[in-house]
């Protein structure tokens, strides 16, 4: 049973860089695609982007200028960095496993989420 666990600082200062890691257990990171999603307080879900085991990435166009994702297949984890954060980046951040083909993209395993406050 694959499980995902987010980790990282819960508090980030404005203009600094938010850094989170998602550790994959119970399965290899070298299959599937790996996503980040966030949810501001009281609001809906926003997809940030995905990365595959080779390091290929696709980012949400609205966040592309801020976002960098990376993967470490030896440690079986992947990471998110968001630069120049503002209060608008305050959210619960989720990592998730994605099944992807040319026709669909869905997320079938999610981490519990980690709250990041920019203040």
Partner 1 sequence: SYVLTQPPSVSVAPGQTATITCGGNNIGSKSVHWYQQKPGQAPVLVVYDDSDRPSGIPERFSGSNSGNTATLTISRVEAGDEADYYCQTWDSGSDHVVFGGGTKLTVL
Site of interaction with partner 1 (CB under 8 A): 35, 44-47, 49, 58-61, 94, 99, 103-108, 110-113
Question: What CA–CA distance (Å, rounded) separates 55 from 42?
Answer: 32
**CB-wise, 58 or 73, nearer to partner 1?**
58
Mapping DSSP to helix (H, G, I), strand (E, B) and coil, where does residue 24 land? strand
Q: How far is the CB of 106 from partner 1 (least distance, A)?
A: 4
CB of 73 or CB of 92, closer to partner 1: 92
The distance of closest approach from Cβ of residue 16 to partner 1 in the complex, given in angstroms and rounded to an integer, is 26
The CB-side HSE value for 25 (13 A sphere, CA atoms) comes to 7
Residue with tokens 């395993």: 109
Q: What does the chain come to in residues? A: 119
Select 10 or 61, whichever has its Cβ closest to partner 1.
61
Contact between 21 and 6 (Cβ < 8 Å): yes
State the minimum distance, in angstroms, from the CB of residue 30 to partner 1: 22
């Amino acid at each position: 049973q694959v499980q995902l666990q987010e980790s990282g600082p819960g508090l980030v200062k404005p203009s600094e860089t938010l850094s989170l890691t998602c550790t994959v257990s119970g399965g290899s990171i070298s299959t599937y695609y790996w996503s980040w999603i966030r949810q501001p307080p009281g609001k809906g879900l926003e997809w940030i982007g995905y990365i595959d085991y080779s390091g290929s990435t696709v980012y949400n166009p609205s966040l592309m200028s801020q976002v960098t994702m990376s993967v470490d297949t030896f440690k079986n984890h992947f990471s998110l960095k968001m630069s120049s954060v503002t209060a608008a980046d305050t959210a619960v951040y989720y990592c998730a496993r994605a099944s992807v083909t040319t026709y669909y993209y869905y997320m079938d395993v999610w981490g519990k989420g980690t709250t990041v406050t920019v203040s």
